[in-house]
Structure 1
């Protein structure tokens, strides 16, 4: 009887476990189903929300809404302003949309917009600067200018002297403020003791409209820096892939900008510089010598090549400590996407055509053929 009772007890326990197992499996199935439903609902809801946010708030609206985009506004600030004015539904979606479309170079000013405008129409308006108030003046900064050259242009267009501009650009407190405002752009690298001007290379070359008669120097400079910040956002993944800092990129791009001629192939020049860096060969680019000398010369002399200065790439290996000019988008892109070559030398002839060589002997042949 004892054995029979034990068997019965074991059978009851097995039945109980099976019953509990079924309950557990049923609970797990229900929980899984609920989780899947939640994920599905969130996904569908998110999809329809994004879809609706991409459309005009009111396609039939004709009411004009005044929108002011202040000087120095980046895409995040612009998106927030558009949402506050109810021109768009969601600032984040508009910001991501502009980044996906690689749109930038938006202009400050006073705009007249409606809730019937599409994202593309808003972007086009912000890019072309279609405003109902004309700018009081525009400041054009060409590619390849140094800070000292920019200072002279500011002097011609505003009430500020070139000296006042340079005093502001080197002011330690102003530099710290810009570092705090644009931490991903301006890092501790600009404080290297060998750098002549911390913000050299950080003022983007473009045409800037100003809607105040006397904007402050802080506004003028920060507007240019803000533009550099907006431009470089789209290249962040490429920078991370190349393990290159923003400072290194702007330095490299400035060399290409200064070496460039109207017909130059910047991607191939970039490949020459990268090839030289890879074998620890000095870059030996004349614009760095001129920057080291602090003066413009039509022809660099042999004695100039020996100047003892951190920027002189004839006597120092690697990149100079910082940018030697303010580079444009073409040079920035060339620095990130060089042509794949084995060239180590290049020269430009009198017509601006570049001639490349793999060896020094080939280079001497080009010198004899195109220079002498």
Structure 2
């Protein structure tokens, strides 16, 4: 038998139970709403992603010529494509490249793409490599001088020799576009700063644009592979490239570049003449295998047989390996080297002049 208090408590219990059920129902509704929002968001993101993969203008496609530089990351490529109006979204392009595992397959080159291509189609084309009937290739070997470049490109019908030499004879023509050239002496040529490589250009490309392309490639290689090491040595940009150009001209084997670099570094420390035959050949304008006594006495600031220190400017265009060697000399105390007479291009290295004299190039 319940008293009034018991009845009151019983009714209160029903109320508490009802309240708990109500809260549980509300929580279920909230959870359901949460899951619905997630599903909706996923569908929305999926639709956004799918739309981002579609062609920019499928109904009215327009051909666009683009160039993908060597060493371009997927991020850089995405930026180029977006700026040229070939893709809708850079981030979606990068996700698509990753999903297709194509990051390492996108090739540098010149392409003719169009706004009617989907992102997947563009990735496919970039993975194949560029082809264009209006495009030609030319190669500048490592160690070439500007005069040799002019001769080669003129023979291939790519440049006007006189115009090419004129534009490369003074940095002033390009220093506004490439401020690093302001570090060079007034009137200094672009010798050493036209990077040796294989290039693709459109037929009819101007001498100015070809030279700019070669300077841009130098900048890219320098900033990516060289600049971080320049603080270890007290050398200016011009001195680094000058030393690298001498190494490029003296070295025939990759494994000797750092050894040859060490010889020149050691000589600079000892205030010795560098006595590089390559610098004399540069003055002579020909690459004589054997220099005469008269040759090594020729009057020129570039003649390291009569002037101490580095020449005032590079003597050729060094490649990446020589640029790296200029900043990373081997830890040896060699002061001399001479060519072996065995046809390999190898050198004999010596610590003293006596050792150098005894080294027989015919052995």
- TM-score of the aligned structures, taking structure 2 as reference length: 0.70
Give the corresponding residue for 1:110.
112
- CA root-mean-square deviation: 3.8
Closer, same or farther: CA 82–328 of 1 in aligned 2, 3 Å: same
Alignment partners' CA distance in 2, 1:180 and 1:71: 24
| 1:11-50 → structure 2 map (5 Å cutoff) | none
Unaligned runs of 5+ in 1: 1-56, 95-100
Alignment partners' CA distance in 2, 1:183 and 1:72: 21
1:278 aligns to 2:278 (yes or no): no
Alignment partners' CA distance in 2, 1:355 and 1:138: 38
Unaligned runs of 5+ in 2: 1-48, 96-102
Per-residue CA deviation, residues 331-365 of structure 1 (Å, 9 max, x unaligned), is: 11111222111111111112212111111111111
Give the corresponding residue for 1:232.
222
Per-residue CA deviation, residues 269-296 of structure 1 (Å, 9 max, x unaligned), is: 0011111111111111001011122333
Alignment partners' CA distance in 2, 1:339 and 1:129: 41
Identify which of 163, 166, 186 aligns with 1:191.
Answer: 186
Closer, same or farther: CA 362–225 of 1 in aligned 2, 3 Å: same
1:256 aligns to 2:247 (yes or no): yes
Closer, same or farther: CA 71–301 of 1 in aligned 2, 3 Å: farther
Identify which of 304, 307, 310 aligns with 1:313.
Answer: 304
Alignment partners' CA distance in 2, 1:71 and 1:178: 22
Quick check: 2:107–2:129 contact (8 Å CA) kept in 1? no
1:150 aligns to 2:149 (yes or no): yes
Closer, same or farther: CA 89–79 of 1 in aligned 2, 3 Å: closer
Give the corresponding residue for 1:10.
none
Quick check: 1:289–1:312 contact (8 Å CA) kept in 2? yes
Alignment partners' CA distance in 1, 2:146 and 2:280: 17
Quick check: 1:310–1:316 contact (8 Å CA) kept in 2? yes
Give the corresponding residue for 2:177.
181
- Corresponding residue SS for 2:65: strand
Give the corresponding residue for 2:12.
none
Alignment partners' CA distance in 2, 1:105 and 1:276: 43
Alignment partners' CA distance in 2, 1:217 and 1:77: 26
- Corresponding residue SS for 1:82: helix
With a CA cutoff of 8 Å and minimum separation of 6, indicate the structure with the bigger relative contact order.
1
Quick check: 2:107–2:128 contact (8 Å CA) kept in 1? no
